[in-house]
Amino acid sequence: MQKIHTLLIALGVIALLLLALSGPLYANNILELGTAFTLLRWAAYLGAAAFVANIIAYFICRPTGLIAGLTGLAIVAGGIAFYMPYSQMRVAKSVPPIHDISTDTQNPPEFIAVAPLRADAPNPLEYAGKETAEQQLRAYPDLTTYSTKESPMNLFDAALARAQEMGWDIVDSNQAEGRIEATDTTRWFGFKDDVVIRIRATDSGSELDIRSKSRVGRSDVGKNAARIREFLSEL
């Protein structure tokens, strides 16, 4: 019986390790993206199995001492290994499969300084087009041009400070052109998403448009919209 407990505990540990390593192995160019996602799937499968099997084993065998504690940890590890990929999958299904989000879908801000950094990116630099714009407007109707009575100079300074506060790597900040370009790197998989901010004068002050675009992946799982929302919420 102890061997069975050991096997089930190891199953939870292995599932959690697959989950934890999938992102860093891709971020450090050790695995291709497809292989890393395969690890995620297996982490979810093994995690679900470890979660259920360890619960059953706990109530049937009633282990004590160290085995009881390790079984509890295996249950937690299996639950985490299953839930994280599962929750990401649910989010992905709840948002449109797009990766180019802009507060101005008719005339989105253009990437200039970032262009060389995306030379080898699977997703092209150009705006994704009308179909993407339509899907965005249905899914994220709140993402619109930001208007203020502040001067373009003050808005530029505030936008640049906000971008820095969010930890983005500033690629270029051109106040004369009212343009800020930056790259945001996600923590787990190290995905690089590029951001361009455009500031223009208006009759009553100034306005700001922001665009966030992923370098890889058909769907951004809502990350670009969330990034824009977070930026504007504190601006």
Write the pLDDT tens digit of every residue in 168-183. 999 999 999 999 999 9
CB atoms within 10 A of CB 37: 15
Angle, CA 85 vertex, CA 83 and CA 86 arms, to 5°: 60
**How buried is 199 (Cβ within 10 angstroms: 0-12 exposed, 13-18 middle, 19+ buried)?**
buried
Mapped onto helix, strand or coil, the DSSP state of residue 124 is coil
Count CA atoms within 13 Å of residue 189 on its CB side: 22
Kind of pairing, strands 100-102 and 205-214? antiparallel
pLDDT score for 231: 97
Which of 98, 50, 97, 46 is CA-nearest to residue 73?
50
Cα–Cα distance for residue pair 184/18, rounded to 1 Å: 25
Taking the C-alpha atoms of residue 208 and residue 180, their distance in angstroms, rounded to an integer, is 11
Q: For the whole model, what pTM was predicted?
A: 0.86
DSSP label at 2? H
At 65, list the tokens.
């001492």
| pLDDT tens digits, 138-163 | 999 999 999 999 999 999 999 999 99
Give me the amino acid identity at 94.
S
Q: Which two tokens stand for residue 73?
A: 């940890």
CB burial of residue 112 (10 Å; 0-12, 13-18, 19+):
middle
Tell me, what's the pLDDT at 207? 98
**pLDDT per position as a tens digit, 13-37:** 999 999 999 999 998 889 898 899 9
pLDDT: is 10 or 134 the higher one? Answer: 134
- Please tell me the distance from the alpha carbon of residue 107 to that of residue 152, in angstroms, as a whole number: 19
Nearest to 74 by CA among 124, 136, 7: 7
Give the model's pLDDT for residue 71. Answer: 81
